[in-house]
Amino acid sequence: MNKKLGFLASRPGIVVTGAAIGIIASVLSFLGNPANMGICVACFERDIAGALGLHRAAAVQYLRPEIPAFILGSLLAALLAGEWRPRTGSAPLARFVLGAFSMIGALVFLGCPWRAWLRLAGGDLNALLGLAGLFAGVLGGVFFLRRGYSLGRSYAAPKALGLVMPAIALGLLALAIAAPQFGLGADGAAIGPVYRSAKGPGSQAAPIVISIAAGLLIGYLAQRSRFCTVGAVRDVVLFKDGHLLYGLLALFGAALAANLALGRFKLGFEGQPVAHDDGLWNFLGMALSGLAFTLAGGCPGRQLFLSGEGDADAGVFVIGMIAGAAFAHNFNLASSGTGPSPYGPAAAVIGLVVVALIGFGFKERT
Amino acid sequence: MEANDDIVNVDARGRACPEPLMLAKSALARSGGKAVEVTVDAALARDNILRMAARSGREAEVRVEGELFVVRLGAAKA
């Protein structure tokens, strides 16, 4: 039997997925999400960490519904396609550490690979430094892969394990919709359990129903098409395979066109929304992220989609990212619009060392 | 990887991206013209290997064995 690939797994399929994500991201930003941040997996997980009180940076607290919707959209796609496979056992603790440091790197740059492309599509030229760093990080990851790096194989797991991340996603959505607030502090600010920024990026959001629908659709499309912003670069270097790259270029092109059409394009380095213009740390922050994502097998969006289709190890990576966001803000490692924090660069260097040690240390194949 | 008379077998079950494709490619490079059979448990890995086969002009067939896919890669077409 010669198995035919489904439409979404074909080249037109990945292009449709990338273009859909680019347009949806631009429109979500137009409808209220922060500028050049229609979708940012790292930023949104950081906002979720804040909403849950895991960090207390008042400007970035919102239970972003797109993230749990990504997981549930992918779950639905995997169930319908017969591809839902609960599995675990591929060094989950190492994946937690990779997730945490990928987030710390992303918050030094101020965005994940998705947002790096979306920032560029909004005219933010600082993203070029971030993308250069991302490529460098992916090249580093390819170096380790070529010398036999592997976190080892995963094994089939009970169905219940594959439902844990979807259940967490449902719980987060329930909290996002109900937004329970059990009291007010002396200054009138809400005191948990779900925090919500009164100003700053965390206060800017598209209508929740639209965010959920957009997240479900993207989760579905990305699970079927295998969309991955890190695999896109990795596969070109490793296999000269441009398949995923077409999806990424479609994302960029569609977001650029949509931003121009909606009047949301501003070219330059200075005064860009939720960004700084320190080129060195834009580069090195994203290099750390790119290396960590490559060693974990995919970009932060991909980790969410894998979580939905039953990969509990990808779920641990996601939890690691959320923990990393908490550390990044509690330890004052995250950059701001004025530049890197005093401690962010040291954290990025420590991260590069730790992630490289994982790259050298985990070797299985001969 | 074990080789019998006419098939090189590769076990890529449970491997995350991009390892199944790396294992398949390295087996092809060492197969010396023999057919290569790669066993994977993910549709993603199966599709990646099929795409690589199509790109390099190789015959490829998928056999479903329970929850596993066995992708058989033939010699390169002339």
User: Each residue of B22-75: pLDDT tens digit?
Assistant: 999 999 999 888 899 999 999 999 999 999 999 888 999 999 999 999 999 987
> Which of B22, B41, B52 shows the shortest C-beta gap to A85?
B41
User: What mean pLDDT is predicted for residues A305-311?
Assistant: 98
DSSP string, A87-138: EE-S-HHHHHHHHHHHHHHHHHHTS-HHHHHHHHHTTBTHHHHHHHHHHHHH
- Nearest residue on chain B to A3, alpha-carbon basis: B62
Q: Do A155 and B22 touch (CB under 8 A)?
A: no
Q: What is the largest CA-CA distance in chain A?
A: 69
Fill in the DSSP letter of residue A181: B
User: What mean pLDDT is predicted for residues A306-323?
Assistant: 98
Counting the structural domains of chain B, the total is 1
User: What mean pLDDT is predicted for residues A212-237?
Assistant: 97
Contact of B47 with chain A, judged by CB distance below 8 Å, is answered with yes
Q: Do A2 and B41 touch (CB under 8 A)?
A: no
* The predicted structure's pLDDT at residue B4: 57
**Gap between the Cα atoms of A317 and A102, Å rounded:** 9
Region of poorest pLDDT, from A84-88, A103-107, A187-191? A187-191
- Nearest residue on chain B to A146, alpha-carbon basis: B22
Contact of A4 with chain B, judged by CB distance below 8 Å, is answered with no
Contact of B50 with chain A, judged by CB distance below 8 Å, is answered with yes
User: Each residue of A323-354: pLDDT tens digit?
Assistant: 999 999 999 999 999 999 999 999 999 999 99
Q: How far is A153 from chain B (nearest CA, A)?
A: 5
| Res. A191 pLDDT band, cuts 50 70 90 | confident
Q: Do A151 and B16 touch (CB under 8 A)?
A: yes
Q: Which amino acid, residue B6?
A: D
Contact of A214 with chain B, judged by CB distance below 8 Å, is answered with no
Contact of B75 with chain A, judged by CB distance below 8 Å, is answered with no
User: Each residue of A142-169: pLDDT tens digit?
Assistant: 999 999 999 999 999 999 999 999 999 9
* The predicted structure's pLDDT at residue A56: 92
User: What mean pLDDT is predicted for residues A213-235?
Assistant: 97
- Under 8 Å CB pairs connecting chains A and B tally to 66
User: Each residue of A197-207: pLDDT tens digit?
Assistant: 989 999 999 99
Region of poorest pLDDT, from A85-89, A270-274, B24-28, B72-76? B72-76
pLDDT above 70 for A133: yes
Q: Do B47 and A87 touch (CB under 8 A)?
A: no
**Gap between the Cα atoms of B59 and A213, Å rounded:** 41
pLDDT above 60 for B2: no
User: What mean pLDDT is predicted for residues B14-23?
Assistant: 95
Torsions phi, psi of B61, nearest 5? -135, 145
* The predicted structure's pLDDT at residue A187: 78
pLDDT above 80 for B76: no
**Gap between the Cα atoms of A90 and A286, Å rounded:** 25
- Nearest residue on chain A to B61, alpha-carbon basis: A2
**Gap between the Cα atoms of A139 and A153, Å rounded:** 23
* The predicted structure's pLDDT at residue A179: 84
pLDDT above 50 for A1: no
* The predicted structure's pLDDT at residue B32: 84
Q: What is the H or E stretch that residue A43 is in?
A: helix A41-51
Contacts of B63 in chain A (CB under 8 A): 1
Torsions phi, psi of B60, nearest 5? -145, 135
Contact of A239 with chain B, judged by CB distance below 8 Å, is answered with yes
| CB neighbour list of residue A353: distance below 8 Å, 6 or more residues apart | none
User: What mean pLDDT is predicted for residues A138-143?
Assistant: 98
User: What mean pLDDT is predicted for residues A126-149?
Assistant: 98
Torsions phi, psi of A118, nearest 5? -70, -35
| Res. A182 pLDDT band, cuts 50 70 90 | confident
Q: What is the mean pLDDT of chain A?
A: 95
| Res. B5 pLDDT band, cuts 50 70 90 | low
User: What mean pLDDT is predicted for residues A30-38?
Assistant: 97
Q: Do A153 and B13 touch (CB under 8 A)?
A: yes
Q: Do B18 and A235 touch (CB under 8 A)?
A: yes
Residues in chain A: 366
> Which of A1, A155, A226 shows the shortest C-beta gap to B61?
A1
Q: How far is B27 from chain A (nearest CA, A)?
A: 12
Residue B40: strand pairing partners: B69
User: What mean pLDDT is predicted for residues A67-80?
Assistant: 98
Cis, bond preceding A193 (omega within 30 deg of 0): yes
CATH number at residue B43: 3.30.110.40
Contacts of B67 in chain A (CB under 8 A): 85, 156
Residue A339: strand pairing partners: A336
* The predicted structure's pLDDT at residue A10: 87
Residues in chain B: 78
Contacts of B25 in chain A (CB under 8 A): 239
Domain hosting B62: range is 2-76
| Res. A184 pLDDT band, cuts 50 70 90 | confident
Q: What is the H or E stretch that residue A305 is in?
A: helix A300-308
What does the block give as tokens for A232? Answer: 């896109």
pLDDT above 60 for A46: yes
User: What mean pLDDT is predicted for residues A96-106?
Assistant: 98
CA atoms within 13 A on the CB side of A269: 9
| Res. A365 pLDDT band, cuts 50 70 90 | low
**Gap between the Cα atoms of A88 and B45, Å rounded:** 17
> Which of A81, A145, A243 shows the shortest C-beta gap to B22?
A145
> Which of B19, B63, B67 shows the shortest C-beta gap to A150?
B19
Contact of A87 with chain B, judged by CB distance below 8 Å, is answered with yes
pLDDT above 50 for A98: yes
pLDDT above 60 for A2: no
pLDDT > 70: percent of chain A: 97
Contacts of B47 in chain A (CB under 8 A): 5, 9, 226
Contact of B51 with chain A, judged by CB distance below 8 Å, is answered with yes
Residue A149: strand pairing partners: A363
pLDDT above 60 for A302: yes
Quote the strand ranges of B1-57, DSSP E: 2-3, 7-11, 35-40
Q: Which amino acid, residue A279?
A: G
